[in-house]
Chains A and B, each alone.
Chain A
Amino acid sequence: MTLKEKISSRKFIITSEIGPPKGIDVKSNLEEALMLKDRVDAVNVTDSQSAVMRLGSLAVSRLLKEEGVEPIYQLTCRDRNRIALQSDALSAAALGIENVLVLTGDHPSRGDHPAAKPVFDLDSVQLINTLKGLETGKDMAGKELKGVPSFCIGAVVNPGADPLEPELIKFEKKVKAGASFFQTQGVYDVDAFAAFMDKVKSFDTCVIAGIILIKSPDMARFMNKNVAGIFIPDKLIEEIENAPDRQHKAVEIAARTIKDLKGLAHGVHIMSLGWNKLVPRILDKAGL
């Protein structure tokens, strides 16, 4: 079953994520992907994440597919105008990649090429609309396509956004534009997530809760201070701080959170930040 079919059949979705290297050596990417292969439904491939230039997400998505791993091709609005976005989406379809996760993208000033020209010709809502348009056999200019693509379009949402209402407004626009699944920012406060899910239940869409492994207390504090919509409670930070084995503790916290999220979210998206080898253990512990 493809991710699209699993979403339609309301299966609990498990996804993970890998970041392409700076360079062309994809050996460790592929090793990670193979480790995840039988445990997750699909693997996100990030698009020069944090505006740091890396090997392309489309190439690595295709390489994953060749290994039998279903990729979710991340496509940001940061570096491409509408011509390039449509062209890359068609390229994905031609390479057999159906899942496209649409994101705004971080501003280049935050990455390793801060002098780069920011593009943002389309925003994420408009890009979702554009992909839906391609599915009808026409491009943005209304020109007929020779061979029509079919996508499974994903988007992101931040349940911890403060204030939440503008985020919900944009979420609604993404649903209306045609996103069929959402992956969220990292969730640590299950009650707050439950409140968010209650607010969006009328949309009847697939919301996959983000799980970001807490690797160290410093990382947790850094994220609390710098990452929008992330709130890691002090109790969790203390737990990691006092743990004799941090990897073990990170696994335990992630598994616990996933268990708590099971009745609430439609799936989980595990962002291991380089610790993908721990994902099978997390899933074992979470009973998935």
Chain B
Amino acid sequence: MIITRQKPIDDILKCLDGIEKVFIVGCTQCATICKTGGEEEVKSMRQVLEGKGKKVTAAEVWDTPCNLLEVKKRFRDGKDAISGSGAVLVMSCGDGAHTVCAGTGMNVVPANDTLFLGQSERAGRFNEVCALCGDCTLFMTGGYCPNALCPKGLQNGPCGGAKDGKCEVNPEIDCGWLLIYNRLKDAGKLDNMKKIMPPKDHSRSIRPRRIIVDAVRKR
């Protein structure tokens, strides 16, 4: 899931400065779960903006703003309200904001900052556990990703900065390599850790990445 956090309202208002009519778009998926773009948040954003004297042309939650075809369809259906607005305030991830811009050609203002690809541990608590490196080695590291869990992304063991099992960068979080070590040890797989891992191939994650899935195209 894509984890987002709403920008401070003053920052959002600054982006909307001089704009009278605003069309608000939320998202039924990740942003709903993150409470940054579900029905409730879209509604309360409407109230805030109206309180500041803006006219909200519509406040909708789309399924989903990161889907270009869906955005284009919504744009066709609600063209007058959208085109008649000075901006579309997108309460989703950056992908949604980007896609709404691409599909409507409108002035898009992102309401959220997009933080990371996250695991939902429990309601309201999200953890970054995958760094989207494009070269998964979880089978070697006991299911814990050193790229995501170690701030240095080390491939061959801990850096020596961990204190009482906690990371030197943030004593609130566990040392990723100690997690890996403990799990491999329990599983009797410490040999994995003894192998020298080669440097990552960063050419696999050159931005912007694009993929064409033939199996989907042929359907």
Is B one of A's binding partners?
A: yes
Residue of A107, A156, A185 near B151 (CB, 8 A) is A107
Contact B158 A167 (CB under 8 A): yes
Q: Which residues of B contact A (CB under 8 A)?
A: 151-164, 168-169, 177-178, 181, 185, 190, 193-194, 196-200, 202
Task: Say how far B206's CB is from chain A's closest CB, in angstroms.
Answer: 14
Which residues does chain A contribute within 8 Å of B161, judged by CB atoms?
A: 104, 106-107, 228
Task: Say how far A105's CB is from chain B's closest CB, in angstroms.
Answer: 8
Interface of A is mostly: mixed
**Number of A residues, CB within 8 Å of B:** 37
Which residues does chain B contribute within 8 Å of A82, judged by CB atoms?
A: 199
Which residues does chain B contribute within 8 Å of A120, judged by CB atoms?
A: 152-154
Which residues does chain A contribute within 8 Å of B193, judged by CB atoms?
A: 166, 169
If A129-B196, A169-B194 touch, does A227 touch B163 (CB 8 Å cutoff)?
yes
Which residues does chain B contribute within 8 Å of A283, judged by CB atoms?
A: none
Which residues does chain B contribute within 8 Å of A185, judged by CB atoms?
A: 160
B190 to A, closest residue via Cβ: A169
Which residues does chain B contribute within 8 Å of A226, judged by CB atoms?
A: 163
Contact B153 A122 (CB under 8 A): no
If A107-B151, A118-B151, A163-B181 touch, does A156 touch B157 (CB 8 Å cutoff)?
no
If A110-B168, A126-B156, A228-B160 touch, does A173 touch B178 (CB 8 Å cutoff)?
no
Q: Is A176 an interface residue (CB 8 A)?
A: yes
Task: Say how far A170's CB is from chain B's closest CB, in angstroms.
Answer: 4
Contact A166 B177 (CB under 8 A): yes
Q: Mark A139-160, 1 if CB is under 8 A from B, else 0.
A: 0100000000000000011100
CA distance A165 to B204 in the complex (A): 33
Q: Is A121 an interface residue (CB 8 A)?
A: yes
CA distance A163 to B198 in the complex (A): 25
CA distance A125 to B157 in the complex (A): 9
CA distance A128 to B185 in the complex (A): 26
Q: Which residues of A contact B (CB under 8 A)?
A: 77, 82, 104, 106-107, 109-110, 118, 120-126, 129, 140, 156-158, 161-163, 165-167, 169-170, 172-173, 176-177, 185, 226-229
Which residues does chain B contribute within 8 Å of A106, judged by CB atoms?
A: 161, 168
Contact A173 B162 (CB under 8 A): no
Contact A110 B154 (CB under 8 A): no
Contact A118 B160 (CB under 8 A): no
Task: Say how far B166's CB is from chain A's closest CB, in angstroms.
Answer: 9
Which residues does chain A contribute within 8 Å of B196, judged by CB atoms?
A: 125-126, 129, 173, 176-177
B185 to A, closest residue via Cβ: A165
Which residues does chain B contribute within 8 Å of A162, judged by CB atoms?
A: 164
CA distance A110 to B164 in the complex (A): 18
Contact A156 B163 (CB under 8 A): no
